Every structure is written in structure tokens, then in C-alpha cells.
Structure 1
Amino acid sequence: MESSHTAVYRQNNIWRGIITACGLLMIIITLAIGAFLCYKGVGIFTTYGHSVGEFLFSSQWAPADNAQGGGKVGAAIFIFGSIITCALALLISTPFSIASAIFMTEISPGIGRKILQPAVEIFVGIPSVVYGWIGLTILVPFIKDLFDLKFGFSVLAASIVLAVMIYPTITSLSADAIRSIPKSFRQASYGLGATRWQTISQVVIPASKSGLMTAIVLGLARAFGEALAVAMVIGKMKAFPESLLSPTTNLTAAIASDMGGAMEGSEYNIALWSMALLLFIISLVFIFIIHYISAKGGHKA
């Protein structure tokens, strides 16, 4: 009996060690990626002497494809393109996602669990190039014909594609957040004479607000990091969009399309690494926001 307990104890220690090692490895990899991006990305400021203000707020983008430098590295157009497309995508997707999550959990939980939830999760596994190809062959011509444009590549096309892509993420996480609310909350509301809609709008949604905000922020984080699908429909024009029907470009599209053609170690190459560093910083900001929301929600609970 004692040897059996010893074997179980040893086995538990082994698995605990493996899990701890895996966790530490992920931390090390994340720190290594961050350190590498910092090493490559800050070169545009330390080696080539450009200012942070120029990089963030100037629209003059003409980096030199050589090691001597002397070009312009204003990334404001790319930054603005990322912000406007992601913001519009979030504005489009969030109402549909929250409504779908409410339907799956509160209106028809049986159908939601057996049919709708699996159907929504299928969208997560679809490669981004498929979304981009559908947007390129169907959505872009549709926008072109609908608004009588010369081209259909636009902020609107990119935002709609992004909205579809982040829809399953926000929907699934929102549904999980709503399901986590105890049934006693609903029973107490019904016991006070509230209708189902009053219970949903005044009890369930406020109680799951932190989880819903986390879902929205995660959806926004995915939208910022998406490259291929957006690059296929946004037009990749280095100019501020005059309207939602105008083409523009963004950070991920620029990195994906230009990194392979830039000379290694050139000002152009380092400027693209600076864009990658900016995206990494944005991702970290989203993570901190999520932790803040979760901690605030847990404290209130």
C-alpha cells in the first residue's frame, strides 16, 4: 500500500514538473519574441535616427531600401487604416454576436447548444485566405456595383470581412460568459415578476458585462492581427481614406506584402519590424485590458 502511494506521488510530481516546464517554456518563448521584436524594431529610432513622433504621426512613407537610410518612415496611414477597419468591424460584429449569444443561451438553449454553437465554432477553423477570397470575388464586386464605384476595394469591404472573422470569437466567448451567470439570478428575477426580456436585459447582461467586454476585446485583438484576408480586399493604397468606400492599407497588410521584398537590415526592413513591434505592443495592451476587466469583474462579484 505504501509503495502504491509512493508511485502515485511520484507520478503526480512528474506530471506537475512537465506542466510547469511547459508553462515556463511558453513564458520564455513570449519573452524571447518580445525581446527579438524590440531588438529589430527599435533600430529605426536608434540606428537610423527617426523619431517616435515621425513614425506614429507622419504620413510620409518612403523608407530607403539600403543600409544608409535617409528615407521617410511615417506609418500614420497604416496605423489609421488598422484602427478604422477594426473599429468598424467591431461595430458591425458586436450586435450580431451578442444577439446570437443571447439567443443560444437564453431564448433557445437546446438548439443553441446542439446546432448553433457548433455551427458558429466551425467558422473559427476556416482559413483566413478563404474569407479573403470570398471577399475578393463576391463582396468587392458587390460593393463596386452597389455604389457605382471604379473599384470595390475599400475600408468597408475590409471591415465586413473582419466582422465575419471575429464574429465566432465574440459569439462563443459571450455565450460562455452568459452561461456562467447562476440560475438563481434568473429565478430571483422571475420571482419578482420580471419578464424574460427584462431578466435578460436588466439581470443577465449586466451580470455578465465583464465577460462580454473580454469577448469584445479578444475579437478586436484578432482583428488587429489579421493580415491576409484584409490585404486581399482593402486595396493596399498608401493614402488616408476619404470615406468608407475608399481604399487604404493597414499595418498587417504592409508587413505581409513588403517584408519579403525588403533588403535585410535596410531602413525599409527595419521600419517593417517597427510596425511588427507596434502590433506586439498593441496585443500586450489588449491582454492587460482583458486582465483588468476580469479582475474588476471578479472583485465586484
Structure 2
Amino acid sequence: MNVKKAKNPAEKAMSLIFFICGMLSVAFVLFITLFLVVSGVPAIGKIGIFKFLFGTVWASTASDPKFGILPFILTSVYGTFGAVLIAVPVGLLCAIYLSKFAGSRLAELIRSAVELLAGIPSVVYGLVGMILIVPAVRTVFHLPDGANLFSAIIVLSVMVLPNVISVSETSLLAVPHEYEEASLALGATYTETVFKVSVPAA
């Protein structure tokens, strides 16, 4: 027999407040989306959707303005792909070390640093990239300007690294110990067990 406990007035009031706050958040997102669509559709219609998406020149202040966003789209795709290529192997190896090889005290210290990196706002990463990464890339590669795709990939890699480490470590820790014990019992070394049993199982 299910007996529902009656809510007191304070609980009802708080539930109503939380519901209103949630609905307001959804409403704000919908209003912002609607505003962007209403404001942008006339301009895109005037420019032409094909020229807007596949144009290669962005010159909004020219006498004959052009609004092609294809370079921005491709830069985002290339930057994301490059960041994944760097962050995933590094993050996976770091997670393997934390979950399988590092001592408890050292692992906790590294986890604290990873959590600290995860809590840093993206704008701070961008600022550090402009102050440190861009001049370093310009100096090392003897370029006239270090603000390029490679610098962006480095910053993005550092940004996503904490998430990659956290997810990978959680997956590795979820692997049943019986898998590793069976591998060790069959004569595999601990390193072979980690890379050939634990990582694929995760």
C-alpha cells in the first residue's frame, strides 16, 4: 500500500519556486533563440543562404560587403579535430596512470589539479593562450603572427583535457577486477593486462 506523505506549505512553496525558475530558464533560452532567428533571417535572406554558408570572404565593412562564413566553419571543424587528436591520447594515458599505476597520494594530488583545470572558465584559457601560447608559437616557428589555428588547437586541447581524463578514469575504474585477475592468472604482465584487458573493457 502506497501512502503519500502530505507536503507541508513550505515544501509546496519551494517546489513552486523551483518550477517557476526552471520554466523561466527555458523561456529565456526560447526568447533568445527566437530573437536571433527573427533578427537573422531577413539578413540571410538578403545575402542568400548559399553565399552565407559557402562564401569564403567575410568583409562586413567593405564598400561591397560580403558575408561568407565557410572559413569560420572549417576553422571550428579543424580546431576541434586537432584538439581531439591531442587531448584524447594524452588524457587516456593520464587516466591509465591515475587509475592503475599512481600511488593513492599522488593520484589524489593529480586529480585535484585536474578538477581545478576543469573549473577554470574558457575565457581564462583564451586569455592565457593570447598571452603565452601565441607569442611562443610566433617565436618558435618564426611566424609573423602566432594567432593561428595551431595556437587555438593547443588551447582547446588543454581545455578539454580534464573532461577526457575524468571520463576515461571513471570508465577504467568501472572495469571488474575479475577481468584483471583472470588475465594475470593466465600469465600476462600487469602492463599487458592494463592495456590489453582493462582499456578495451572500459
Amino acid at match of 2:142: D
Equivalent-residue separation in structure 2 for 1:154 and 1:133 (angstroms): 15
205 and 23 in structure 1: CA distance in 2 versus 1, 3 angstrom threshold: farther
Distance 2:86 2:182 in 1: 34
Contiguous gaps of at least 5 residues in structure 1 = 209-301
> What TM-score do the two structures reach when normalised by structure 2?
0.78
The answer for the alignment partner of 2:137 in structure 1 is 143
Query: Residues 232-291 of structure 1: CA distance to partner in whole angstroms, max 9, x if unpaired?
Result: xxxxxxxxxxxxxxxxxxxxxxxxxxxxxxxxxxxxxxxxxxxxxxxxxxxxxxxxxxxx
Query: Paired residue for 2:53?
Result: 56
TM-score by length of 1: 0.55
**1:108 maps to which of 92, 102, 109:** 102
How far apart are residue 127 of structure 1 and its match?
3.1
* Deviation at residue 23 of structure 1 after TM alignment: 9.9
1:92/1:163 contact within 8 Å kept? yes
Change (3 A) 1:204 1:25: farther
Asked whether the equivalents of residues 47 and 67 of structure 2 are also in contact (C-alpha less than 8 Å), the reply is no
Change in 2 beyond 3 A, CA 1:27/1:189: farther
Structure 1 position 104, deviation (Å): 0.8
In the alignment, is the contact (CA less than 8 A) between 1:144 and 1:151 conserved in 2? yes
- The Cα offsets for residues 190-242 of structure 1, whole Å up to 9 and x where unpaired, read as 2333222222222222222xxxxxxxxxxxxxxxxxxxxxxxxxxxxxxxxxx
Q: Which residue number corresponds to residue 118 of structure 1?
A: 112
- Distance between the aligned counterparts of 2:92 and 2:61, measured in 1? 46
Alignment match of 2:121 (pick from 127, 131, 136): 127
Q: Does 1:44 align with 2:38?
A: no
Give the drift of 1:113. Answer: 4.4
Q: Establish whether residue 18 from structure 1 lines up as the match of residue 15 from structure 2.
A: yes
Structure 2 CA distance, aligned partners of 1:195 and 1:23? Answer: 55
Q: Percent of pairs identical after alignment?
A: 30
2:191 and 2:109 map into 1 onto residues whose CA distance is 23
Aligned amino acid, residue 125 of structure 2: Y
Deviation at 1:18, TM superposition (A): 3.5
What is the number of equivalent residue pairs in this alignment?
195
Aligned to 2:86: 92
RMSD: 3.3
